[in-house]
Amino acid sequence: MITIALSKGRIFDEAVPLLESAGIVARDDPETSRKLILRTSRRDVRLIIVRATDVPIYVRYGAADLGVAGKDVLDEHGGAGLYQPLDLKIARCRMVVAAPDGFDYRHAVKQGGRLRVATKYVHTAREHFAAKGVHADVIRLHGSMELAPLTGLADAIVDLVSTGRTLRANRLKAVEEIAPLSARLIVNQAALKLKRPAIQPLLDAFARAAS
Ligand code: ATP
Ligand code: MG
């Protein structure tokens, strides 16, 4: 049995065509089913539905053989010990610094003063500002980062954007790009050795479909 870990929502939706290219069609829709283990059209493949940040954990410990995880998650929570053979080119977005429309970010970071930054990507944010030589006090949030600058919790946020609609709706704008992102296939290293005959054709099919 091959177990593939995915998060529902964007990643699952955009992974559907890639899975199909390997002959894998889920028997249930994770948006409407409460099942966390989904059987598929292939008797030897099942999908498990976990939080986006939990995907690398399941794969690292071998509870899943493969997983689909955003590069944001791998960068923030560590891709160590995971084989990352493929950029699936889905769930594309950008990690950015965003601030209120009226905030003079260039001036703020030039001054040598301190910047208060709210984010759930604390590691990514600290690394970014340290590399720029900017003193940043990073406050960890768990969601709705856009609210932080609007309430005085922070000057700026570090978050993902794709269309920018959420930022605009909250009168924020991207003031700096940190990195372009997309979802990656991750593979448990022991599983790759032990189940190579079953896993390699999946990697090949995903690689063809993602290119
Ligand atoms: P939740 O929203 O339930 O708190 P989450 O934010 O971890 O959980 P998603 O919003 O589904 O889950 O994001 C999952 C992954 O999809 C992210 O880790 C990122 O790689 C990608 N992603 C997030 N936001 C966007 C976006 N706006 N455009 C494209 N991809 C995105
Ligand atoms: Mg989200």
pLDDT tens column, 80-98: 889 998 999 999 999 999 9
**Sheet strand arrangement including 66-70:** 37-39, 45-49, 2-6, 66-70, 183-188, 82-87
Note the pLDDT of residue 186: 98
Counting residues of the chain whose pLDDT is more than 90, the rounded percentage is 95
In the chain, CATH 3.40.190.10 covers: 2-91+182-210, 93-180
Pick the CATH number of 93-180 from 3.40.190.10, 3.80.10.10, 3.90.1150.10, 3.30.70.260: 3.40.190.10
Ligand nearest to the CA of 121: 1
* Amino acid, single-letter form, for residue 18: L
Confidence of residue 78 (pLDDT cuts 50, 70, 90): confident
Report yes or no on whether pTM surpasses 0.85. Answer: yes
CB 187 within 8 A of CB 15: no
Within 10 A of 194 (CB to CB), how many other CB atoms are there? Answer: 13
Confidence of residue 200 (pLDDT cuts 50, 70, 90): very high
**Domain 2-91+182-210 listed as CATH 3.40.50.300:** no
Q: Using a 6 Å cutoff on CB, does residue 93 contact ligand 1?
A: yes
DSSP 33: -
Residue 156 Rama label (left phi>0; alpha psi -120 to 50; beta): beta
Q: Note the pLDDT tens digit of each residue in 91-124.
A: 999 999 999 999 999 999 987 789 999 999 999 9
Note the pLDDT of residue 112: 77
Q: Using a 6 Å cutoff on CB, does residue 94 contact ligand 1?
A: no
β-partners of residue 183 are: 70
